[in-house]
Structure 1
């Protein structure tokens, strides 16, 4: 076993690190410092989105880093108000300008938006054009259920490289993961340690007795155990934090390995609890994406 992370090879041949750094809900004024800490730690994949309002902070941190463009994998998402063919082409221009780059490594649709799925299809076709033109290196989706993926696959040409979905020990979405695997779509796990959800009396997987016990066995934290669980099961993970110590801790998951029994014990924690974005009315979100 190596102490260094390896990569996933996406359908387009692009390589994506096993662990990335997310900035969901990171305040714009804190984003640059958080991303800078992540890059200094060794993260080389940064995941943001137009709807997060912090793409400029990501771009600022990358510029500060002095790293070569080829060494940092930048991912962003198109929000639903910019769905449609021409609208999505322009959404790329807005995101690229905020990030301060000419090419985005991975650009994905943020939601399936079933209420207006015709616009979703046109948005994805715009992503295909951006891919063909070399403006993005890979394209994909987020929060797409199998029924939405089936229609997308039937009406477009390029299989999504990734489907970014909620996955952690309490919400595993095994059927959706299996669909992704069947179609060679990489599962990216958002909220990989369950920090964005509370269950029952407010507990999260971070407090789970099984995970805590496994963590004590390895001399690791519960978060590190969950991230290792994702990696060994073949998912790409995007943990988030604004604290340098936690950012570094979440990256320190390549010097140990979970046993098959430990993996099975974590698998058994599934509670089937998830907020299905497919059911939300995105027209009520009132998120507008400003120009760069």
Structure 2
């Protein structure tokens, strides 16, 4: 999108309504079909059929529109603006003349003092703030299982539960209706499927598939249902203190075949990648299969 800003920017600046519709189409559609259904009317309404830049964007839509990779595991993918914001923080602590050892020590200080850039701002908090108290059991449970940084992300997501109202749809489904504009989710309504007895929950936003933590929509339903702890299948080991066993040593990969070591990826990581890719495929099949009993 940065590459096209200079080309389509003037067109968007001329019409605020077009700009809002364009952003909604780009950022808040959750399936390719939904994107297509939103794009076509927008192009027709504003006469963009012959605009070469919008045609080019549409031609490469599958490579940058989130709706086309909602189920892919890209945890906490950051925008260019966020990366540049972190670079500014980094420069306060390090410089090109430092030794590698000094750099590592300084970088550790950054991790202790700053949790990165979110929503365009630097959030600097101490451990007490990151492990803030909550009257909700589910947030207390998250504070006990996640690392400091991940619990901070969880808490920021948890705050968004106040921005939604719940409207039941059948026995196992709920509409999450925003009562305000929600950062990261816009003004759209999301459908959540909750099978409480089985401990299975699914939201249209697919945040768990992308980031590995449950979204504010599922959190809201858990609160409504009185669930006091996150089901273990929704807590990825990589986000917990148990991600790296204490007894792990430098020779842990000594038994691996030479080709795996040469490729730079341990066997267990390759299996994890394989499992993730297969799970994504199965999820896509499930979306089509749950439409009716026949499918």
Question: Is TM (by shorter chain) over 0.5?
Answer: no
User: Counting helix residues as a fraction of each chain, which structure ranks higher?
Assistant: 2
Return the structure number with greater strand share.
1
- Bin for the TM-score computed over the shorter chain: under 0.3
| TM norm structure 1 | 0.25
The one of the two structures with greater contact order (alpha-carbon pairs below 8 A, sep at least 6) is 1
Query: Which has the larger Rg?
Result: 2
Instruction: Give TM-score scaled by structure 2 length.
Output: 0.25
